[in-house]
Amino acid sequence: MTTLDTLVNMTRRRLLSDLREEYDNLVSNVPANATSLNLQNGSGLALGSIRAGSLLEVDYELYFVTSTPVSIGAISVIPGYYGSPSTAHAAGAVVTVNPRFPRNDLIDAINEDIDDLSAPANGLYRMLETTLVYNPVRIGYDLPGVKASQVLEIFEVRNQDYGPAQAWPLLAPRKYKLERNADPVQFPSGISLKFYGAGYPGRPIRVQYKAAFNSNLANPSDDVTLLTGLHPEAHDIPTLGAAIRLVEYRDIKRSFSEAQSEPRRAQEVPVGASMTSLKGLLDRRTKRIEAERARLDKQYPRQLR
């Protein structure tokens, strides 16, 4: 099972490569909304790097350091910084000093990329279906259990024929029509499917439709396939997309005129170096999307009608 935590760690590995951040550990259990932290070691660079304004990350929570510590004990902090959820943490939990890519930023970027996968330019989707019962005196049907915002297009419609063969012949597109922004009183889903002389009275009609992925990952233990609908073969794509989203803005701070925040000179790391470094990731993500789109085309070929 792929969890959100799995995607976060995969993205971190892509972003950090062999770079090692500064780490320490908690001495004891920490309750939610704690205003002080005790570190286990604090030796070497770690304690020297912790000062007022530093960020400490424990699990998925960020802490803002409010004063320069003089020892490894009782570092004063503001919990739940940048909107990160304040939770309890166990003794020995890893403390990251000034994380380059906070985990909550990674979650946001992963969800944004999952949203993007179903855009027309990318063309990925999940195939869902619903079943109706045909009534010859009715034209418009609500689609039960369907969210209008997730329906990209109708893939195919089949009705169950009479007879021992139990056949499900394909309906021609001219015999049905999907209408959006339908009256929510008559059509609670917000969409209606209209049939024109198709189906058999009292027999089921099976509607298959392309649906967008859900982007509601929030907890580290969330099951990616179950909650988003993204098939396991494509779980690497959001990690590529999230890495691109987080790196593409890093050159912006070089343009700040209030203070020189970048000690490295342009000869070492020229302006635009971040975007240049993304070319490989961009190319890889594009190829992966093309490969998954081809996989879907093979799984769901268009039938002759």
Q: How far, CA to CA in Å, does 31 sit from each of 26, 84, 126, 223?
A: 12, 15, 41, 26
| Residue owning tokens 């009534």 | 135
Could you say which of 2.40.10, 2.40.128, 2.60.40, 3.40.140 is the CATH number of the domain covering 20-99?
A: 2.40.10
248 pLDDT band (50/70/90 cuts)? confident
pLDDT at residue 126 tops 90: yes
**What distance, in Å, lies between the first and last C-alpha atoms of the chain?**
39
200 pLDDT band (50/70/90 cuts)? confident
Res 71: pLDDT: 67
Both tokens of 39, joined, read 């570190």
Helices (H), the chain: 4-16, 45-49, 103-117, 224-228, 236-247, 273-277, 279-299
Rounded average pLDDT over 219-245: 95
pLDDT over 70, % of the chain: 86
10 pLDDT band (50/70/90 cuts)? very high
Q: Which residue has the higher pLDDT, 16 or 126?
A: 126
Res 278: pLDDT: 76
Res 141: pLDDT: 93
- The Cα 161–Cα 164 span in angstroms is 9
Strand order from edge to edge, sheet including 126-133: 126-133, 204-211, 151-159
How confident is the model over 19-70, as pLDDT tens digits?
788 888 899 899 999 999 988 876 554 566 788 899 999 999 999 999 877 6
Are the C-beta atoms of 89 and 26 separated by less than 8 Å? Answer: yes
Q: Which residue has the higher pLDDT, 257 or 286?
A: 286
Are the C-beta atoms of 239 and 125 separated by less than 8 Å? Answer: no
Helix axes 236-247, 103-117, angle to 10 degrees: 120
What is the number of H-type helices and E-type strands within the chain? 7, 12
- The Cα 242–Cα 265 span in angstroms is 27
Res 94: pLDDT: 92
pLDDT at residue 14 tops 80: yes
Res 40: pLDDT: 82
Are the C-beta atoms of 154 and 239 separated by less than 8 Å? Answer: no
Res 226: pLDDT: 95
**Contacts with 114 (C-beta within 8 Å, 6 or more apart), sequence order:** 213, 214, 215, 217, 228, 230, 238
Res 302: pLDDT: 78
**Contacts with 145 (C-beta within 8 Å, 6 or more apart), sequence order:** 130, 189
Both tokens of 8, joined, read 């976060």
pLDDT at residue 256 tops 90: no
User: Best-predicted range by mean pLDDT among 153-167, 196-210, 222-236, 276-290?
Assistant: 222-236
- The Cα 172–Cα 177 span in angstroms is 10
Instruction: With residue 56 as reference, give the H or E element that holds it.
Output: strand 55-58
**Contacts with 116 (C-beta within 8 Å, 6 or more apart), sequence order:** 122, 241
How confident is the model over 258-304, as pLDDT tens digits?
555 555 555 555 555 555 667 888 999 999 999 999 999 999 987 65
Distance of CA 140 to the CA centre of its chain: 35
- When the pLDDT of each residue in the chain is averaged and rounded to a whole number, the result is 87
